[in-house]
């Protein structure tokens, strides 16, 4: 059970749009805030496309989608989030940006509104420190793509009240998600383990231990993982990996989080992965070569 009725999402990028889908699909009135109408329209279009596929696959009826879309709105006026019981921020992964957004939200939202951050690398306690409501602040890290992945890493900051954490936890379950509790630790669980694992795989390529396709095959066959690390890096994009790994390294100084030099060379060469047609593999359309 949850007392939360209205959900705000700050940021309408990939994560924000996905989180809004999760909340609206679970029956919550959902308001998405972004500074530009272009971003909101793009998110709306992506959301409509997602639900059209849900109808095609028989997961939802047209009437259900109509009801969901009616409960989902976008705004460029942050004051429109004033009636929300919880606001989940999914803005750029930069502490100053998050502090600025949270300070604005604190100004317009009711005292009871819980703030949640979808950060994957920053400290919940540090973001909360600029929110004006450290006791009502919680980490809620959704996995990409949020609209498909059930897992949410939930972290209390040092000053998060038990009541806030419990309310956010119940809300997460009410959305049909599966929360796991983790400490406010850089990278939480997923990125804490995944980023160095990916760096280690890149170091194997750098050292000439094996070719990317051999490493991926070994990991998939030997460990049963659904994707090899280098395939996954190509999917995520090496530029994105660099951002996450550098943020993690800056907060942990653990050597395995340091980005191998090969990453920067590949980025300089425009070899970002699938999105540029070349990463550890070469791509033509959706087909993969070199695997």
Partner 1 sequence: MIYQLIDTGNSRSFPGAHPFLEKAEASGDVVVIVGENAAKSLQTLAQAESRTAILIELGTECLGVHTGEGHGREGSNVLGFARFRLGSAEPTSLVEVVRQPNTTETALAAAREIFEAAGLQVAICGDFDGRIIDRLVRPYFNAALRRLDEGLATADDLDTTLKLGLGYPEGPISLLERTGLEHHHDVTQALFEALGDPAYASARRARVAKTRRSTK
Positions annotated as catalytic residues are 120, 141, 153, 191
Question: Measuring CA to CA, which residue among 117, 112, 118, 154 is closest to residue 133?
Answer: 112
Q: Which C-beta is closer to partner 1: that of 47 or that of 257?
A: 257
Shortest Å, Cβ 195 to partner 1: 11
Residues 6 or more apart whose CB falls under 8 angstroms from that of 9 comprise 16, 19, 20, 23, 30, 31, 32, 33, 87, 88, 89, 90
Where does this chain bind partner 1 (CB under 8 A)?
A: 143, 149-151, 153, 178, 180-183, 185, 189-190, 192-194, 196-197, 200-201, 204, 207-211, 214-215, 217-219, 221-227, 229, 255-256
CB of 48 to partner 1, least distance (A): 27
Please say which residue, 48 or 200, places its beta carbon nearer to partner 1. Answer: 200
CA 271/CA 209 separation, integer angstroms: 21
Residues near 254 by Cβ (< 8 Å), separated by ≥ 6? 196
CB contact burial 29-50 (16+ within 10 A = b; e otherwise): bbbbbbeeeebbeebbebbeeb
Question: Looking at beta carbons only, is 71 or 257 nearer to partner 1?
Answer: 257
Identify which of residues 56 and 162 has a Cβ nearer to partner 1 in the complex.
162
Angstrom distance (rounded) from CA 153 to CA 117 = 11
The three-state secondary structure class of 264 is: helix
Instruction: Compare residues 50 and 197 and give the one whose CB is closer to partner 1.
Output: 197
* Helix, strand, coil fractions of the chain, as percent rounded to 5: 50, 15, 35
Question: Shortest distance, CB of residue 259 to partner 1, whole angstroms?
Answer: 16
């Amino acid at each position: 059970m949850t007392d939360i009725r209205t959900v705000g999402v700050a940021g309408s990028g990939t994560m924000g749009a996905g989180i809004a889908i999760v909340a609206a699909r679970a029956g919550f009135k959902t308001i998405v805030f972004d500074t530009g109408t272009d971003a909101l329209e793009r998110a709306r279009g992506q959301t409509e496309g997602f639900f059209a596929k849900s109808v095609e696959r028989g997961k939802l009826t047209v009437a259900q989608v109509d009801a969901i879309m009616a409960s989902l709105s976008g705004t460029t006026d942050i004051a429109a989030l004033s009636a929300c019981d919880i606001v989940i921020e999914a803005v750029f992964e930069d502490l100053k940006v998050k502090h600025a957004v949270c300070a604005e939200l604190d100004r317009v939202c009711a005292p009871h509104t819980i703030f949640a951050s979808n950060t994957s690398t920053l400290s919940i306690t540090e973001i909360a420190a600029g929110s004006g409501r450290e006791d009502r602040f919680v980490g809620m890290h959704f996995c990409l793509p949020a609209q498909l992945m059930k897992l949410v890493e939930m972290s209390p900051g040092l000053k998060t009240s038990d009541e806030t954490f419990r309310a956010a936890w119940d809300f997460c379950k009410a959305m049909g998600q599966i929360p796991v509790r983790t400490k406010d630790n850089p990278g939480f669980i997923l990125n804490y383990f995944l980023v160095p694992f990916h760096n280690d795989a890149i170091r194997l390529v750098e050292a000439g231990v094996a070719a990317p396709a051999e490493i991926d095959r070994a990991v998939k066959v030997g460990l049963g993982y659904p994707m090899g690390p280098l395939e996954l890096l190509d999917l995520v994009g090496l530029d994105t990996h660099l951002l996450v790994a550098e943020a993690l390294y800056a907060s942990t100084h653990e050597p395995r989080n340091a980005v191998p030099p090969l990453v920067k060379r590949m980025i300089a060469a425009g070899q970002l992965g699938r999105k540029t047609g070349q990463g550890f593999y070469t791509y033509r359309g959706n087909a993969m070569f070199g695997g």
